[in-house]
Amino acid sequence: MRSKKDILNIKQTLIDTFKDAKSELKFKNHYELIVAVMLSAQCTDKRVNLITPALFSEYPDVFAMANANLASVKMLINSCSFFNNKAENLIKMAKAVVADFNGVVPLDEASLKSLAGVGQKTAHVVMLEAVGANVMAVDTHVFRVSHRLGLSRAKTPEATEVDLVAAFKTELGKLHQAMVLFGRYTCKATKPLCKECVLAGLCKSKDKIV
């Protein structure tokens, strides 16, 4: 694991470099946010943004989605990975929001995780996007960056999240956004742009290209 000094340097560099970082998912309200985040699981934000305009046009709010036709939802999102399960979960999620939360998407972790298709990562992304919650969400980019930078050796996203929370403690939402963009465009899975990397001096990864 990294020293406290290294962790602070990594944290500050990420925050300074990506100070305006925000999700690349497009949404206008909390309903659109949770739908977009649910669709983004194992699917690119770019693909989700191509799917959601027609979906939101047909089902503009949680009440419409709660009464949606399953076949119609499947058709609208069929270019998304695991669209069959996601379509079912979107409708179940909306029904629960209507029945249990008076049609208002909840923004606390326990309530969010009670919804179909919403695990810890999805709940945390919704929370940090909606209210700036001090939570970390570990997707494939954050997982890769964390391990390359020696911030975690954990085998699962959940355990990696624990390591990151312990290391960074504060500004976790900002760091999530920064690490997503950093992993997506610089610290890529293949052919990382090490010569352009702001953290090159702190990176000891075996994947480092010198």
- 171 domain-assigned: yes
Q: Coil, helix or strand for 27?
A: coil
In this structure, the answer to whether residues 106 and 36 fall within a common structural domain is yes
Dump pLDDT digits (tens) for 82-137: 999 999 999 999 999 999 999 999 999 999 999 999 999 999 999 999 999 999 99
Of 110, 131, 152, the position where a domain reaches its end is 131
The catalytic residue positions are 121, 139
Residues spanned by the domain of 84: 30-131
Dump pLDDT digits (tens) for 132-161: 999 999 999 999 999 999 999 999 999 999
pLDDT at 199 > cutoff 90: yes
Domain count for the chain:
2
Of 131, 146, 166, the position where a domain reaches its end is 131
- 210 domain-assigned: no
- 209 domain-assigned: no
- What's the confidence (pLDDT) of residue 134? 97
In this structure, the answer to whether residues 98 and 12 fall within a common structural domain is no
Share of the chain above pLDDT 70, in %: 100
CATH number, domain of 174, equals 1.10.1670.10
Of 131, 152, 186, the position where a domain reaches its end is 131
Whether the full predicted model's pTM is greater than 0.85, yes or no, is yes
Average pLDDT value for the chain:
95
Q: Are 47 and 80 in contact (CB under 8 A)?
A: yes
Dump pLDDT digits (tens) for 17-38: 998 888 999 999 999 999 999 9
Q: How far is CA 21 from the centre of its chain?
A: 13
pLDDT at 210 > cutoff 80: no
Greatest Cα-to-Cα distance within the chain, rounded to the nearest angstrom = 56
DSSP conformational letter for 116? T
